[in-house]
Homo-oligomer: A and B are copies of this chain.
Amino acid sequence: MTALLPEGLRDRLPPHAEANASLVATLLGVIAGHGYDRVQPPLVEFEESLAATVGTTKRELLRFVDPVTQRTLALRSDITGQVGRIAATRLAHVPRPLRLSYAGPVLRVKGDQLTPERERLQLGAELIGSDSVAAASEVLGVAVEALAATGLTGISIDLTLPDIVETLASHVLPQARIDRLKALLDMKDAGAMTAEGFASWLPLTAATGPLATALPALRAFDHAGLLASRLDGIEQVAAALGDVRVTLDPTERHGFEYQSWIGFSIFADAIRGEVGRGGSYRVGDGEAAVGFSLYVDGLVDAGLGATTRRRVWLPLGTPVETAAALRADGYATVAALAASDACEDCTHRWTPAGVVEEA
């Protein structure tokens, strides 16, 4: 059979499509409970607007020339940037902090190894107007609470300090050396670090793992106390997460290029790769913000969001009032249209004597 759909695109069938919708409702319900209001930016924008978003390049966007305006449009690959645009423009007059949430499909040119899908459902929350410790704590807490409400277990958080090298080295190294140091830290290449005169930075690569050991190691490395406020912040954020497992990978920068003092990845037992990620950043006009994004498809694939509903078969002649009463009782009704009809997946059947369970 010829492939019906292009690479990286798929149909969601029952019951997965329903699970998808149910997960979105659960996640956004928890987020709304914390005062986050929903926004819905369009799927398509001017290429320049989408590519102007930090972290997005034109090459990652599916683009086309608009037959109406002859301008190049693109499908969004990320909603965070759109929410930032809305906050900086149409909601510029709304008092801060501004709490916004969103959910919707995003498309990218290519999938990656862990998630070959090119269309994914992104869902998230952004707190705009602050990137304080309190703001980061709230956002991470909301993310964890929302995920836990879906039934996800074994949630853990990996924290990173995206601007740690700049913070420590900005007064002692020229920019070219800082960039080289960051590249070597990304590769975790201890040999090259020593060979190129960065041996004194090696303790940074060791300050990794459970917070209880990594944080003291970082504090010991930070003789001058340049990281003190950041490390105090990390400690407070982690404390507010209660018994969620928190690890630290202070120099992890992959995907956190546009985050400021704190970044985080969320993991869970049943999910390969990240469940979501987020951190502090700046929206277009430099306003501080902190937020998180989740990709719902991974949760569906892990079997979450399953809904079970009693389905009752209504043979021909079932009174319409009876059918309505059964639906009001929470049944899904499946009505015979012809005498030959049947219902394979009905759990119940209506009879003039009442509803009976199917054998």
Contacts and interface: CB of A to CB of B under 8 A. Distances in A.
Interface of A: 4-18, 20-21, 25, 28, 32-35, 37-46, 49, 62-64, 66-69, 71, 73, 75, 82, 85-86, 89-91, 95, 97, 99-100, 102, 104-105, 107, 109-110, 118-119, 130, 132, 134-135, 138, 309, 311, 327, 331-335, 337-338, 341-344
Contacts of A33: 327, 331-333
A4 B85 contact: yes
Contacts of A82: 11
Given A21-B28, A332-B33, A64 B66 contact: no
A45 B62 CA distance: 13
Nearest to A98: B14
A331 B332 CA distance: 30
A276 B39 CA distance: 25
Contacts of A102: 17
Given A9-B42, A20-B40, A119-B42, A34 B327 contact: yes
Contact of A95 (B11, B32, B35, B342): B342
A-B residue pairs, 6 tightest by C-beta: A64-B64, A12-B40, A14-B37, A35-B334, A17-B40, A9-B42
A34 B73 contact: no
A62 B43 CA distance: 12
A332 B135 CA distance: 17
Given A18-B32, A18-B38, 7 more contacts: A11-B42, A15-B37, A34-B332, A35-B334, A67-B109, A130-B338, A138-B337
29 contacts: A5-B46, A6-B45, A6-B68, A6-B71, A6-B73, A7-B68, A9-B42, A9-B44, A10-B42, A16-B40, A17-B38, A18-B32, A18-B37, A18-B38, A32-B332, A33-B327, A34-B327, A34-B335, A35-B334, A43-B75, A44-B75, A44-B119, A62-B64, A62-B66, A62-B73, A68-B118, A75-B75, A130-B338, A135-B337
